[in-house]
Amino acid sequence: MIAIGLAGCGWLLPKPGTIGGIGFDIHTLLYAFVGIELGAQFVAFAIFTKAFAISAGLLPKDPRLNRVLCFVTLETGLSVGALFTLAGLGGSALPVSDWGRTSFGALDPSRMLRLVFPSVFSLMLGVQIVCGSFFLSILGLRRH
């Protein structure tokens, strides 16, 4: 889902696209961002579930997961999450600035949503990474 969402975003973020006479625009772009988000949620859920099952003794230790968890520390997660959150906040400044230039009136939805979607997505993902990092850290307390 992440790969398909990224491909859709890469294709539709600059401008609308067409395949076989069928037009794809901001509505499809939104679904592409949702695909990335859902894919990230599935990956996080898989990691959380496996870490919990191993720490509870329900599954044997997994060397691959241990390698991942050596890299994915609380500090790494907080840093990456903060970067995504800051990118989302920074990216939100441009649409708000454009809106101010129109005296907070009507805007071109196609243009504005191409700016707003990535910013909102970055905010959501950043906060989820921060929260997930804390949760994964708590799951790992028993292992140490």
Q: What is residue 142's predicted lDDT score, i.e. its pLDDT?
A: 62
- DSSP letters, 20-41, are TTEEE-HHHHHHHHHHHHHHHH
Please tell me the pTM assigned to this model: 0.89
| Residue 144, domain member (yes or no) | no
| Residue 50, domain member (yes or no) | yes
Q: Which residues of the chain, if any, have pLDDT below 50?
A: none
Alpha-carbon separation of residue 39 from 6, 30, 49 (angstroms) = 10, 14, 15
Q: What is residue 68's predicted lDDT score, i.e. its pLDDT?
A: 85
User: How many other C-beta atoms are found inside a 10 Å radius of the C-beta of residue 126?
Assistant: 20
Length of the chain measured in residues: 144
pLDDT in tens, 94-135: 999 999 999 999 999 999 999 999 999 999 999 999 999 999
Q: What is residue 128's predicted lDDT score, i.e. its pLDDT?
A: 97
Q: What is residue 110's predicted lDDT score, i.e. its pLDDT?
A: 92
Structure tokens at 5: 């969402």
Task: For residue 31, give its domain range.
Answer: 2-139
| Residue 21, domain member (yes or no) | yes
- Number of structural domains the chain divides into: 1
Asked whether 91 and 115 are in contact (CB, 8 A), the reply is yes
Q: What is residue 131's predicted lDDT score, i.e. its pLDDT?
A: 96
Q: Which residues contact 140 (CB under 8 A, 6 or more apart)?
A: 51, 55, 69
